[in-house]
Chain A
Amino acid sequence: DTGVSQDPRHKITKRGQNVTFRCDPISEHNRLYWYRQTLGQGPEFLTYFQNEAQLEKSRLLSDRFSAERPKGSFSTLEIQRTEQGDSAMYLCASLGSHRLHFGNGTRLTVT
């Protein structure tokens, strides 16, 4: 169990720029989740993949957000035309043994 890894750990970008985050889940886990966490809040669900299929998207995921998991392994989350309100910690998790295994997150700051 090498754990869930996320890259980058931190990203600072200017408003209007596009950003992309990567998540590598635990290799034998089929289910992958993206969550967003803002200050003072618990993680909020964004989207979920079973293998390469995106099965659910939260209404929090506006048209500027897109997620992919092309080969059923790693996943990417892209935010286009970033806004200051996108500043948050973006957490990836994979499901195994009835529980979510989280990565350390990508902290996005939009200036």
Chain B
Amino acid sequence: AQSVAQPEDQVNVAEGNPLTVKCTYSVSGNPYLFWYVQYPNRGLQFLLKYITGDNLVKGSYGFEAEFNKSQTSFHLKKPSALVSDSALYFCAVRDRGSTLGRLYFGRGTQLTVWP
């Protein structure tokens, strides 16, 4: 069974402060891991992915995430938050051994960055 947990429904940070959005996952095999962001009434926009290689992945808009196999985590981070980062963030996982390409998503974390 494959699943993703985002333990925080909401994360609030002040502009300029670092932010972390947490994600843990469960897959039967080795994972591909993803972060997507969603703005109101829009589809999901890709931020970054972990496929293989370096555990620290850098993505769009200054975001990065670290794959931690022992803790089965893939937390999203940014050193300095912007008000424009306020949005809904989704973590997703895919079993590397699956030929279907289907992603399993978490419930999402609403990030609010206040000025």
Contacts and interface: CB of A to CB of B under 8 A. Distances in A.
Q: Do A and B come from one complex?
A: yes
Interface of A: 4, 6, 31, 33, 40-45, 48, 55-56, 91, 93, 95, 98-105, 107
Interface stretch (B12-20, B43-51, B67-75): B43-51
A4 B42 CA distance: 12
B41 interface: yes
A46 to B, nearest CB: 10
A104 B102 contact: no
A74 to B, nearest CB: 16
Interface of B: 4, 32, 34, 36, 41-46, 49, 51, 90, 92, 100-108
A42 B90 contact: yes
B41 A43 contact: no
A100 B46 CA distance: 8
A90 to B, nearest CB: 10
A41 B108 CA distance: 7
A69 B105 CA distance: 24
B100 A43 contact: no
A72 B66 CA distance: 37
B43 A105 contact: yes
Contact of A55 (B32, B100, B104): B100
